[in-house]
Amino acid sequence: MSQTFDHSGALTAFPSPADIKAFVLANPEHFAGDPDLLAALVARKKRDANVLDLQSYVITRLRDDMNAVRAHGQALIEAASSNLLAQERVHAAVLKLIEARSFSQLIRILSADVGPLIGVDSVVVCIEAPQNSKMPHTPPAGIAILEEGTIDDVLGRCVQHILNDGRKRMPAIYGKNARRIRSEALLRLSFGRQAPDGLLVLGSASGETFSPEQRTELLSFLARAVERCVCGWLGLES
């Protein structure tokens, strides 16, 4: 370390060239992010042939960083657009459910209209039926009757939803469409203490529509809307 005096007369220590070189080699990131310092180093090359040309490295580094920022920004824009479209579709489906003027019309809307609105190929409301119940053996389209305890077996106790990509947990409910379904969302429905549990099943012919990592806020909102509509028409306390 070399030493000199400042204007106040105090002894001040300066790092030696060897110390500076060691620090630069050990901490290149500090210099790569400092345009003024890099510009000074590059400019010195014209006067000193022994100084390495950092300009090409810096330009490449900045170009790579800029491309990464652009790619990240584009991904965010695409994700936001996709989320907005999904939100609009689910909201349109819920408004359609509210338009029902009877329970039978509600089920027809669920089975025929909701699917195209939200981009799926099958929508089924499953209801558990206790043994010796008077549930119909051939329920209308859009309704499936399950044995008591089936929903807990499929989802797991207290589990509210499962999203599958490539595996169908309940192929029988899809009927003739079973072979087409490649991904599905299973969402628990609760119709109150006095009614059996239900299950909203959304099936898609695309294997990319649903996946276990997918966020479920919009799907859960749709399930809650179905619950309230069913409870309203059947006179159940949700």
pLDDT digits (tens, 9 = 90+) for 146-171: 888 889 988 888 889 999 876 777 77
What is the SS3 assignment for 81-139?
HHHHHHHHHHHHHHHHHHCCCCHHHHHHHHHHHHHHHHCCCEEEEEEEECCCCCCCCCC
What does pTM read for this prediction?
0.65
Find the domain containing 140 and state its range. 89-234
**Confidence (pLDDT) at 187:** 94
Alpha helices in 109-149 (DSSP H): 115-118
- CATH number of the domain encompassing residue 144: 3.30.450.40
In a domain, 149, yes or no: yes
Of the candidate ranges 71-80, 92-101, 169-178, the one whose mean pLDDT is the lowest: 71-80
**φ, ψ of residue 211 in degrees (nearest 5):** -150, 155
In a domain, 22, yes or no: no
**Confidence (pLDDT) at 56:** 67
Give the chain's domain count.
Answer: 1
In a domain, 23, yes or no: no
In a domain, 17, yes or no: no
In a domain, 63, yes or no: no
CA dist 98 and 181 (Å) reads: 28
